[in-house]
Structure 1
Amino acid sequence: MFTLPTYTAPDFTESFFVKAPSVRTMPAPMDGVVPENFYATTIFPEYFKIHDSWQLMAESRMDCVVVIADDRPHAIEFRNVKKGDAVVVGRHEDGENGVYVDHFAFRKKQENGDNFSFRTSNSRETAYSRDYDRLYELLEFERENGYILWVLGPAVTFDQDSRNAMTHLIEMGYIDALFAGNALATHDLESHFFNTALGQDIYSKENKSLGHYHHIETINRARSCGSLKNLIEKYKITDGIVSSCITNNIPLVLAGSIRDDGPLPGVYADVYSAQDALRVHTRKATTIICLATQLHTIATGNMTPSYQVINGAVRPVYFYTVDISEFVVNKLKDRGSLSSKSIITNIQDFVVNLQRNLSLK
């Protein structure tokens, strides 16, 4: 049975916190520009002393500035700062300038053990049985109590079984929102029309004659319909990820890329519009699972704090990266984002294994 860890906030009655100064602010000199010596947010719980009261920032995001409005701290992207906003300044994180960052939230104390040991990092040789079991328990809990965001690369749709498994996960209630690029949706729909992805049969792996037309023919059909919803209705599509999202009212955020064909209707061509659309869901997400997409994984991780405040209680955000490449799953940590749990495996095997085991719950 999965249970959330208990978060213990700092004791702000301690003398150091009582004597600490209130946070300092300076007005933004112009739209999209902040004062020198601005404070930038981290992924951890951050407290700001406002009118002698320490307040936790409820909704955070890495690499934002903090604006004090209505006596509350708010994480604001640089581009969204308005002239005159009260921007927090000072770069101490230990309370000296009215800002305290709880770097050790949810971390367990180091248990006794040898200083030297083998296999301390994840690799292709790592045992993941326990990680899978914990993930099953977590998703069962989150289906009833949390908000599960999935970030998908197109590889999920390149195999018949993994495409079907992901569709079943949506229908079983394990997906509250889905983030991907133009390719994921394109090849999912291509699989409906032609049973191929980039012209290759998703079961037999046979390359079909003129198969390289399939994805752009799919895009053309979708664009002629004006929207993915209209496409689903016109062609009576009842299989696949896109259809399941639309049928079950699951938000599908598709972000464009410089290399996209088309793109499909509904794909965000402007990166900042895509970022804003995704942040609607990262603000609510309690578990995030990223599959075989390095750039979208990093983008999502950079927008996701290590915690959420739910009904006044602070709880951790669980973040999984899954890929067959060790480099990809470790890249998020290199970018300074939250500590993620990585599983190194074939992505199609992962999805099928996950769905089959959750079906037994």
Structure 2
Amino acid sequence: MIPIPAFQPPDFSAPHLAAAPAVRSGPAPADGVAPSGFHATSNHPEYVHLGGGRWVLAPESRMDALLVLKGEGVEVVEQRRVKKGDQVVLGRSENGEEGILVYCDGFGDRACDEAEKFAFRTRGTRETPFSRSYDELYRILRHDREEGYIVWVVGPAVAFDKDSRQAMQGLIESGYCQALLAGNALATHDLEAARFRTGLGQDIYTQALQPFGHCNHLDVINEVRLRGSIRRTIAELELSDGIIYACERCGVPYVLAGSIRDDGPLPEVITDVRQAQDAMREHARRATTVIALATQLHAIAFGNMVPSYRIMADGSVRPVFFYIVDMSEFSADKLANRGSAQARAILTNAQDFVVNLWHNLRPGAAIS
């Protein structure tokens, strides 16, 4: 059984919704400025009442954005993109009192607290067995390889180990990744491994320090900057393995978002944070399954962009699965406490996770 639960829409004939007023709106006073009392979106399905019993589900939602009335519908817009005069939805209640319904029970998971449906700092730590989580994830990935859009948000730890790097390459080449989001470090150390078989100067199999290995990643960055692109460097240096190699070979898009501590960086790294957010948002709009692996800040950033649901081309609504994989509960709870309450944690070593996934998803593996 494929674990894609059917969406059950709200009962708009319920008295409190049948009697709900039409939603209010107010004009944005300036570009990038919302009117007072604006409604801030969550990552849950949200409906607005346009009057006459017509409720509209907001498409492509994300947390911390605004709802703008456009024609006969509504759009989710980041505050910085609001234009002067846009009709911004107003209201802070979420149960229909102001024509706004934040709806959390569509997939039968009752994800909302009735007191406040969307909030920060809502989950504490807990011990969890993960066998069922793995089995569920295998089924989801097999399904979404054909019918969804799988986005990986990956930290450099995956490139530091020979086996996990090979496993990630295999997953990409086998269709289990439609987009890869990372930073300068993941790409740099993956290319370092392809060129020198090291990660930060350590052998990626034995972890033994190599003579002058601390210069290897800087040499790789220099090679790429000399040639102007990763693609050209892979071709001219005849690099033939790795995560970025697999993305280039298979035409899988990757977004490298920069940080203030980056070496180089590589030419493909986006150093303007607004441009990086826009590039990541393109994949957030399409994602049906997200795996955020050993990268806390990128995981939180992408989690803020991803809704808990997706409206498909045929009009059906399905959940967006979000997995946070890390060694400690801190990263998982940090993500949940930033509003991504739907995120599911698998607490394990990043290398072990990727290798385990590949062993169960590689061609010829037994289907669980």
Which residue of 1 is the match for residue 33 of structure 2? 33
Which residue of 2 is the match for residue 69 of structure 1? 70
Is the Cα contact below 8 Å between 2:3 and 2:139 reproduced in 1? no
Which residue of 1 is the match for residue 116 of structure 2? none
Which residue of 2 is the match for residue 327 of structure 1? 330
Which residue of 1 is the match for residue 8 of structure 2? 8
Which residue of 2 is the match for residue 114 of structure 1? none
How far residue 151 of structure 1 moved from its aligned partner, in angstroms, is 0.5
Q: Residue 337 of structure 1 aligns to a residue in which SS?
A: coil
Which residue of 1 is the match for residue 211 of structure 2? 209
Alignment partner of 1:354 is 2:367? no
Q: Residue 164 of structure 2 aligns to a residue in which SS?
A: helix
1:161-310 map, 5 Å: 161-310=163-312
Q: Deviations over 1:213-254 (max 9, x none)?
A: 111110010011111111122122221111110111101000
Alignment partner of 1:47 is 2:47? yes
Is the Cα contact below 8 Å between 1:167 and 1:241 reproduced in 2? yes
Is the Cα contact below 8 Å between 2:168 and 2:243 reproduced in 1? yes
How far residue 121 of structure 1 moved from its aligned partner, in angstroms, is 5.7
Which residue of 2 is the match for residue 115 of structure 1? none
Letter of the 1:65 partner, please give it: L
Is the Cα contact below 8 Å between 1:148 and 1:287 reproduced in 2? yes
- Range 325-334 or range 315-324, more displaced: 325-334
Is the Cα contact below 8 Å between 2:326 and 2:332 reproduced in 1? yes
Is the Cα contact below 8 Å between 2:59 and 2:76 reproduced in 1? no
Q: TM-score, normalising length from structure 2?
A: 0.92
Is the Cα contact below 8 Å between 1:44 and 1:105 reproduced in 2? no
Which residue of 1 is the match for residue 95 of structure 2? 94
Which residue of 2 is the match for residue 60 of structure 1? 61
How many Å separate the matches in 2 of 1:344 and 1:92?
35
How far residue 109 of structure 1 moved from its aligned partner, in angstroms, is 6.5
**Number of residues of Structure 1 aligned to a counterpart in Structure 2:** 350
Is the Cα contact below 8 Å between 1:43 and 1:338 reproduced in 2? no
How many Å separate the matches in 2 of 1:100 and 1:308?
17
Letter of the 1:2 partner, please give it: I
Letter of the 1:213 partner, please give it: C
Alignment RMSD (CA, Å): 1.5
How many Å separate the matches in 2 of 1:189 and 1:343?
27
Q: Residue 88 of structure 1 aligns to a residue in which SS?
A: strand
How many Å separate the matches in 2 of 1:240 and 1:284?
25
Q: Residue 212 of structure 1 aligns to a residue in which SS?
A: helix
How far residue 16 of structure 1 moved from its aligned partner, in angstroms, is 3.2
1:102-117 map, 5 Å: 102-108=103-109
Q: Residue 101 of structure 2 aligns to a residue in which SS?
A: strand
How many Å separate the matches in 2 of 1:109 and 1:238?
47
Unaligned residue ranges in structure 2 (runs of 5+)? 112-123
2:318 aligned residue (315, 324, 333): 315
Q: Residue 324 of structure 2 aligns to a residue in which SS?
A: strand
Letter of the 2:296 partner, please give it: Q
Is the Cα contact below 8 Å between 1:305 and 1:338 reproduced in 2? no
Give the percent of matched residue pairs that are identical in Structure 1 and Structure 2. Answer: 52
How far residue 4 of structure 1 moved from its aligned partner, in angstroms, is 1.4
Is the Cα contact below 8 Å between 2:66 and 2:88 reproduced in 1? yes
Is the Cα contact below 8 Å between 1:44 and 1:305 reproduced in 2? yes
How far residue 148 of structure 1 moved from its aligned partner, in angstroms, is 0.4
Against the structure 1 CA distance between its residues 225 and 7, is the aligned structure 2 distance closer, same or farther, given a 3 Å change threshold? same
How many Å separate the matches in 2 of 1:215 and 1:130?
39
- Range 7-16 or range 129-138, more displaced: 7-16
Q: Residue 39 of structure 1 aligns to a residue in which SS?
A: coil
Letter of the 1:309 partner, please give it: I
Is the Cα contact below 8 Å between 1:122 and 1:342 reproduced in 2? no
Unaligned residue ranges in structure 1 (runs of 5+)? 111-119
How many Å separate the matches in 2 of 1:108 and 1:343?
19
How far residue 161 of structure 1 moved from its aligned partner, in angstroms, is 0.3
Q: Deviations over 1:3-26 (max 9, x none)?
A: 411111112233432332111111
Against the structure 1 CA distance between its residues 108 and 83, is the aligned structure 2 distance closer, same or farther, given a 3 Å change threshold? closer
How many Å separate the matches in 2 of 1:282 and 1:248?
20
